[in-house]
A and B are shown apart, each in its own frame.
Chain A
């Protein structure tokens, strides 16, 4: 079946511009996670959704970052006034539940380059 889909796969933007990254999780998966992968930094947690609500936003690096999820499905991560340090691969993952034994299913990520 279809996996987690992320778009765009690559995004180059100028410093100061806003960007929107999209994640389409596996159908029926209620939990959705955003991570950021930077060189040498591993996977940095950004935000988690259960359905449409975001009980854990603790990982968002600044108020320039926001995310929403509509209809319990598609999620959008928005970065306003992008900075060069925002350059990274942004990964989305979904899971059928928040149960502790549910592994995450990852998308291919969006590689963001801020010039």
Chain B
């Protein structure tokens, strides 16, 4: 069964600082990778996703993530954070199997607090 690890549970940054949130997964086959974000008082929403092709994917609000297959990682980055990026970030994986049901597994989340 697949699993997802997010090692940073709580990150505090000042505005304009650079951000990198770690995500590692365990699954031997092809995977599809997601980052979801939950802003305070709002529902979880998709930030970006990787299925195939260019391992560097860009999402909304200036976020990007890089899939490194050899490291089983899909770290989230942003060059310069804003106060409005304060939220909880979840990495998720599902097996890249064709057809049928794929279970989506989430990490434990990273709370990001950006100080103005």
Q: Which residue of B lies closest to A91 (CB)?
A: B44
Size of A's binding interface in residues, CB under 8 A: 26
Chain A residues within 8 Å of B, Cβ to Cβ: 3-4, 31, 33, 35, 40-43, 45, 48, 50, 55-56, 91, 93, 98-101, 103-104, 106-109
Q: Total A-B pairs in contact (CB under 8 Å)?
A: 60
Additional A-B contacts beyond A45-B106, A55-B101, A100-B32 (5; CB < 8 A): A40-B108, A50-B101, A103-B46, A106-B44, A106-B45
Is A48 a contact of B103 with CB atoms below 8 Å? yes
Of B6, B42, B104, the contact of A104 (CB 8 Å cutoff): B104
Q: Does B102 contact A (CB under 8 A)?
A: yes
Bound CA–CA A104/B106 (angstroms): 12
Is A98 a contact of B43 with CB atoms below 8 Å? no
Bound CA–CA A101/B105 (angstroms): 14
